Amino acid sequence: MEYILQLEKQQKYKLFWSVIAMTVLLFLFSVLFLGFNGVLLYAFLLFLTVITPLFLGRYAFFIILWVLFVSYFDLFKQIKVGGTNPINFAIAAFSTPFTIILVYKKFHEVVKELPYVKYLMLFALIVFLNFFRYGTSLNSFVEIFKYFIALLMVFCTYSYLKTNPAENIFKWINIFMITNCFAAFFQRLTGFGLMIVEGVPRIQGFLGHPNSLAFAINIFLPVATYQFINAKTKQQKILWGFSIVINLLTLLLTFCKIGYIALLFCLLVLFLYVPVKIKKRMFFSGIALFVLIILINYLFNLQIVESIINRTANNDSFIWRLTVWKLLIAHLNPSSYLLGNGIYSASNYMATMPLLGNQFIHNVYIQYFYEYGILSIFFFLIFLNPAIKFIKAVFVYKVKDRKTYIFPLLIIAQVFINCLTDHSILAKTILFITLIAITIFYMQLNDELKANSLTKTK
């Protein structure tokens, strides 16, 4: 017994010094990357991002930090250094040691409860190892941080839900999404921050691009609908109903074609699965929203209807995408099929062809196969693995309410639809919100299956 206790002390001792070493390395890297500003930010955020949650178990702090605050910092382009906001970098740098500690403490527990986490870990490792390829730029560290923090978000969500209700996390996400909508409306009414694409003014909110905003709303709508249907008070129903309406209106103003297609798919599935009472509400709410759009369009002369028609009728962006995809596929070397060409190699190749006018691939399947080869399959297994269990919940297991798990399936479907013509799932805030929602529904399903002893329908 004494030997075991001594062994545990040695393990904790090694872990402590490993984290110290990682922190020192990250500190030195921030000095090189950000200079004196990096040192100040690093010191300022030490207490907030590591000491407080590590010793007090404040997992909610990390979830709120990344979902609510980090996206706001991206707006401040004037303080960016080398294309990266130093606040985001400092938070990410100090989140990494905490990720290591949390994974160390809860690895077996979380992987047993959430099997898809092992694919997230493998993909994070693949991205990390690619950093050491010859010619990889230092700013590729941003990509590495993203997947380590995605791990952190899942582990924090898991730990938080052990003692707190999931509704709290959904409320924080709802606050972000509603605030995002108001910021987007402000852009449309004032003209500040609008993005003009193919002659159409498009809003982007805090997320940096109209396509990203549209995708964020598409993955949020199943969550909002689920919360609306299961609201326990009239006040909650009003709040979530308002959120659904305002996010739908915002989605229309992004003029994102794949967003429209994904929305129609989502609404069709929801209409088939929700109760008759909710179907009636959806129908009349749709009519009310249509009238509201026409009224706003008339009062503020926003030309929403005209812009939607012009945008959907214009196929230039899709033709451009096809050109890019053909070029990337043609440039693939059989020797790179297994390991790919490395972090950002697809956008770097695009940069050699300035006539294309864009360095974004707009197809995650092609981009990640080009960058990570066949090993990129681990990224898609992060979503495919839980999808299989949710499908079983709907069609195989005798769960309490099988229709509940159509909502996370819709979120995952939105991911795979978006990956066809865009890369918004790779944006950190959207990726984190997606994984948080999947984790919440997965843990809910685990509890229900345990209560039913995993009995299956005949």
Q: What is the pLDDT along the chain (458 residues), one digit of tens a residue?
A: 444 444 455 555 555 555 556 556 655 655 565 555 555 555 555 555 555 555 545 677 777 777 776 666 666 555 555 556 666 666 676 677 777 777 888 889 999 999 999 999 999 999 999 998 988 887 787 788 889 889 988 998 998 898 889 899 999 999 989 988 988 888 888 877 777 776 778 888 888 889 999 999 999 999 999 999 888 888 999 899 899 989 998 998 888 889 999 999 998 888 887 778 777 777 777 787 778 777 877 776 666 766 777 767 767 777 888 888 888 888 888 888 999 999 999 888 888 876 666 667 889 999 999 999 999 999 999 999 999 999 998 888 878 778 889 999 999 999 999 999 998 999 888 999 999 999 999 999 998 888 876 544 43
In this prediction, residue 444 carries a pLDDT of: 93
How far is the C-alpha of 15 from the C-alpha of 216, rounded, in Å?
Answer: 37
In this prediction, residue 3 carries a pLDDT of: 41
Which residues in 117-128 are b (16+ Cβ under 10 Å) and which e? bbbbbbbbebbe
Domain count, the chain: 3
Shared domain for 181 and 139, answered yes or no, is no
Shared domain for 116 and 214, answered yes or no, is no
Token pair of 443 as six digits: 């843990």
Shared domain for 7 and 149, answered yes or no, is yes
Q: How many residues are present in the chain? A: 458
Shared domain for 5 and 145, answered yes or no, is yes
Shared domain for 90 and 239, answered yes or no, is no
Shared domain for 353 and 240, answered yes or no, is no
In this prediction, residue 81 carries a pLDDT of: 54
In this prediction, residue 272 carries a pLDDT of: 83
Say if residues 210 and 254 touch (Cβ distance below 8 Å): yes
Shared domain for 12 and 133, answered yes or no, is yes
At which of 164, 192, 210 does a domain end? 164
**First-to-last CA distance in the chain?**
49
Shared domain for 286 and 340, answered yes or no, is no
Neighbours of 72 (CB within 10 A): 15
At which of 261, 276, 306 does a domain end? 306
Shared domain for 110 and 240, answered yes or no, is no
How far is the C-alpha of 174 from the C-alpha of 194, rounded, in Å?
Answer: 23
Read off the pTM. Answer: 0.83
Shared domain for 390 and 456, answered yes or no, is yes
CA atoms within 13 A on the CB side of 269: 19
- Going from the C-alpha of 26 to that of each of 29, 31, 50, 95, 344, the distances in angstroms are 5, 9, 13, 11, 21
In this prediction, residue 387 carries a pLDDT of: 97
In this prediction, residue 214 carries a pLDDT of: 94
At which of 274, 306, 338 does a domain end? 306
Shared domain for 291 and 169, answered yes or no, is yes
Question: Domain limits at 33?
Answer: 1-164
In this prediction, residue 36 carries a pLDDT of: 54
Shared domain for 281 and 385, answered yes or no, is no
